[in-house]
Structure 1
Amino acid sequence: MDAAMTFKVTVQPSGHTFWAEANEAILEAGLRQGVALPYGCRGGVCGSCAATVLSGQVHYPFGEPQGLAPYDEERGKAFLCMAAALSDLEVDSPRVGMEPDIEIKALPVRVEKLRKLAADVMELTLKLPASERLRFRAGQYIDILLKDGKRRGFSLANAPFNDQFLELHIRHVPGGYFTSHVFNEMKEKALLRIEGPLGSFYIRESEHPMILIGGGTGFAPLKGMLEQMMAQGMDKPVHLYWGVRAKADLYMDSVVRSWEARHPQLVYVPVLSEPHLEDAWAGRTGWVHEAVAADFPDLSGHDVYLSGPPPMVNAAKAAFWAQGLPENQLFYDSFEYSPDTLKAMQESLS
C-alpha cells in the first residue's frame, strides 16, 4: 500500500472526523489530531479502544491484538490501537466527545514512601513538585518513564482531590525488571519521571447502581473511585467484589470493611479462588466474575467497572454480556504485562 495514502475516519455518534495515514494506528491518528478516543494499554490487550466498524475496512499491520476475542470480531469490533485503515472508515465509539479532555503531562516525582501491603504488593507513594499538580480522574493510570525509553503503567489508587501525592499498588512480578527494582533496590527520595494521566477507565455520570470488580491489584483504581464517591456522598448502591487467591492477598481488607461500616450504600464481597486451610475462610470462593454473575442474573440496569488481569476481564465480559449488560455500561481496565516482563516470566518457567 502507498504509505502516502490517507483515509478519512468518521466517529459516530459524535461526528468527529480525522485523517489516518496508511499503516498508522487509528488511535494514534485520532489522538494526534485532538480526537479523544478511549484507550488503555495501547498494546492490543485491554480492549478499551475497541470500536465497531460501521463501514470500511481495517487491518493489523502491527500484529493481531492479543485481546481481540472471536466474539469481538463477530460483533464487528476493531482494536483501534493496532488497527490501520484500508479505506475511509465510519466507526462507532459512543464515549468520544462526552467529557472534556485532561492535559497529559510529563513530570518529575520523588518517592515519598514505600510500604509493603502484602508479601508481593508494595504501596509506592510519589510526591509531585510543589509547583505542579496532576489533574486526573479516579481510575486512570500513569506511565513511569524508564531510562531505556521503556514505560511501566500503574493505576492511580488515590482520588483526585488528594493530588499532592500519587499512590500506586505494585505487585512484584518474578523476572520483572521494574517491580524487582521497587522491591529490592528503590529507596525513599529517589527521583522518577512519569507521564499521565492516561486511560479511559474512570467513573461516568449515571443513575445506575454500580458494580466494581477488581482482581488482585486491580483493586487499586477502584480504591480511588470509592474514595472519590465517599468524599462526594455515595448516593446510590455500590457493590465492590474483590477477587484474590488467598486471604493474605486482600491487602486492604480492613480498610474496605471500615468503609462498608460507615457507608450503608456500599456492599463489599471478597472472593477467594484458592483459600489456604489456615485461612479458615467462610466467605465466597471461586472466580470473582462468577460470584457477580450468580448475584446479578440480570445486569441490564447496572454499570460495571472491571479491572484486573486479562483472563479475568475477558471471561467477565463474555459472562456479563450474556446476562444482559449493555456494552455502553461496561468499563474496564485490563492489566497486561510488558513484553520483556512476559519474556522473563516464560524463561523462568522453562
Structure 2
Amino acid sequence: MTQPHDTQGGFQITVNPSGRAFQSQGNETILAAAIRSGVGLPYGCKDGACGSCKCKKVSGSVTHADHQSKALSAEEESAGWVLTCCAQPTSDVVLESRQVTDESAYPIKKMPVRVSSLQKKSHDVMVVRLQLPAADTFRYHAGQYIEFILRDGARRAYSMANAPHTQGDAPGVELHIRHLPGGKFTDHVFGAMKEKEILRVEGPFGSFFLREDSDKPIILLASGTGFAPIKALLEHMQFKGIQRPTTLYWGGRRPEDLYMHDWLLEQAAQMPHLRYVPVVSDALPQDAWAGRTGYVHQAVLDDFADLSGYQVYACGAPIVVESARTSYSEQRGLPAEEFFADAFTSEADKHGG
C-alpha cells in the first residue's frame, strides 16, 4: 500500500548508540514509527503523561503535540529532550536512547478475546482472565501490556500478570484491574462484565521486561496493581531458572491491597534467591499489621545504602515510580540506564484530571 505523499513525512530517525534507523510516515509520531518498524524504544502510556519515552535529541527538529509538563517540562524541551510518543519529526532526527533492543519487537496484533473468569481479590481489585484465539500465537515478554479497544475507540491498557510460558495448551492472559469509581471501563468490569463476554484487544506493548543479558541483583518495586507485571517477571524468572538475587517490595495503603500476599509467600518459599518485603502505608489498628510501614520506595532507601551494582524494575503509580527513579539515582548511585519502569497512568492522569 502506498502512503499518501505528505510534506510532514518520510524522515529518517536514527537511534544512538545502536545506530538503528527507521523512517517516519505521514504525520505519525517518532514512537509510532519505531513500533511499526520493530525498533524497541522505551515507552509507557503512549499519551504524553508518564515520561517513560523521554530521550535526548542529538540533532534534527520535532514538534510536540499536547503533553503534560510533568512528563516533559518546557526547560527539558528547550534543552533538547523529546517525548517520542508526542513528537512528530519535521526533519531527519538523531536520538540517544540506551534501551533499543531488537528482540523486544514481537508483532503487534489486534484480536478478539473472551472473558474466561472473573475473580474479586479485594474490594477494588479484580483478576480477569481472557481466553485468546486458539488458532493464533500471541507472543509477548513478561512485563508487557495489552490495550482494550472500546466501542467508541477509547483504549485502556493493562499489564499481563502471567508469564508467556503459562499459556501452554490454553492461550490466555491474566489481568489485575483496579476499580476507579466513575471510570467507564472499570465500572463495567466491576458491574456488568460476565464470563464469555467478547472484547477486542491489541498488543503486546511496552518496554518493561527483564534484561536477561545482565547478572546484576534485582530490586522489584510495585505499588498496588503495579504488581501485575512484576508477577509475570517472577513467573518468567522461575521458569527460566534465573537465580539472580532478587528483592521484591510491594506497597499498598492497607494490608488487603496486597491482594496476592499468600501467593508471594509461597513463591518466596520456592525461590531461595527471592526476598519479599510487603509495605503498608496507612495501616489501621484493626489491621493488626506487624510488617513494614511507610512509603514503598522509601523502604528500599532504608535497606540499601548503595544501588550502583543493581537493576531496579518499578511499576505502579507515577508518583511512586518517579520518586524511586530520582532518589535511587541521586542518593544511592543507581545508574539511570538500570532503572526500568512502567508507570500506571489512568485516564485522569493522562488528562491532568
The TM-score with structure 1 as length reference comes to 0.91
CA 167–43 in structure 1, closer or farther in 2 if over 3 Å, else same: same
% of aligned pairs identical?
A: 47
2:107 corresponds to which of 103, 107, 112: 103
1:68 aligned partner, one-letter code = L
1:188 corresponds to which of 195, 217, 223: 195
Rounded to whole Å, the distance in 2 between the matches of 1:97 and 1:259 is 30
Report what 1:252 is aligned to: 260
2:230 aligned partner, one-letter code = L
Kindly indicate whether the alpha-carbon contact (under 8 Å) linking 2:253 and 2:280 is maintained by their aligned counterparts in 1: yes
1:93 corresponds to which of 94, 97, 101: 97
1:95 aligned partner, one-letter code = Q
Residues 1-35 of structure 1, C-alpha deviations (whole Å, 9 max, x = no match): xx714543221112122344686422123333443
Matched, 1:174 2:181: yes
- Higher mean alpha-carbon deviation, 20-29 vs 287-296, is at 20-29
Residues 140-193 of structure 1, C-alpha deviations (whole Å, 9 max, x = no match): 001111111111110100010112221000000011011010111111111111
Rounded to whole Å, the distance in 1 between the matches of 2:226 and 2:74 is 25
1:27 corresponds to which of 6, 25, 31: 31
Report what 1:321 is aligned to: 329
Report what 2:7 is aligned to: 4
Q: How does 1:1-350 map to 2 (within 5 A)?
A: 4-6=7-9, 7-20=11-24, 24-64=28-68, 66-68=70-72, 76-99=80-103, 101-163=105-167, 164-205=171-212, 206-322=214-330, 323-339=332-348
Rounded to whole Å, the distance in 1 between the matches of 2:25 and 2:109 is 26
CA 191–10 in structure 1, closer or farther in 2 if over 3 Å, else same: same
Rounded to whole Å, the distance in 1 between the matches of 2:67 and 2:225 is 28
Kindly indicate whether the alpha-carbon contact (under 8 Å) linking 1:45 and 1:334 is maintained by their aligned counterparts in 2: no
Shift of 1:71: 8.8
The TM-score with structure 2 as length reference comes to 0.90
Kindly indicate whether the alpha-carbon contact (under 8 Å) linking 2:40 and 2:207 is maintained by their aligned counterparts in 1: no
CA 117–64 in structure 1, closer or farther in 2 if over 3 Å, else same: closer
Shift of 1:341: 9.0
Shift of 1:260: 1.0
Rounded to whole Å, the distance in 2 between the matches of 1:240 and 1:73 is 35
Kindly indicate whether the alpha-carbon contact (under 8 Å) linking 2:43 and 2:207 is maintained by their aligned counterparts in 1: yes
Rounded to whole Å, the distance in 2 between the matches of 1:207 and 1:334 is 25
Kindly indicate whether the alpha-carbon contact (under 8 Å) linking 1:48 and 1:332 is maintained by their aligned counterparts in 2: yes
Shift of 1:286: 1.1
Partner SS state of residue 182, structure 1: helix
Rounded to whole Å, the distance in 2 between the matches of 1:106 and 1:65 is 32
Unaligned runs of 5+ in 1: none
Shift of 1:234: 3.7
2:204 aligned partner, one-letter code = P
Rounded to whole Å, the distance in 2 between the matches of 1:5 and 1:103 is 26
Rounded to whole Å, the distance in 2 between the matches of 1:129 and 1:8 is 37
Rounded to whole Å, the distance in 1 between the matches of 2:265 and 2:76 is 37
Rounded to whole Å, the distance in 2 between the matches of 1:340 and 1:91 is 27
CA 329–109 in structure 1, closer or farther in 2 if over 3 Å, else same: same
Residues 272-294 of structure 1, C-alpha deviations (whole Å, 9 max, x = no match): 11111111222211111111112
Shift of 1:231: 1.8
Kindly indicate whether the alpha-carbon contact (under 8 Å) linking 1:65 and 1:82 is maintained by their aligned counterparts in 2: no
Report the RMSD for the aligned CA atoms in angstroms.
2.3
Rounded to whole Å, the distance in 2 between the matches of 1:161 and 1:72 is 41
Rounded to whole Å, the distance in 2 between the matches of 1:325 and 1:340 is 27
1:148 aligned partner, one-letter code = D
Rounded to whole Å, the distance in 1 between the matches of 2:321 and 2:112 is 32
CA 30–136 in structure 1, closer or farther in 2 if over 3 Å, else same: closer
2:248 aligned partner, one-letter code = L
2:344 aligned partner, one-letter code = F
Rounded to whole Å, the distance in 2 between the matches of 1:59 and 1:341 is 19
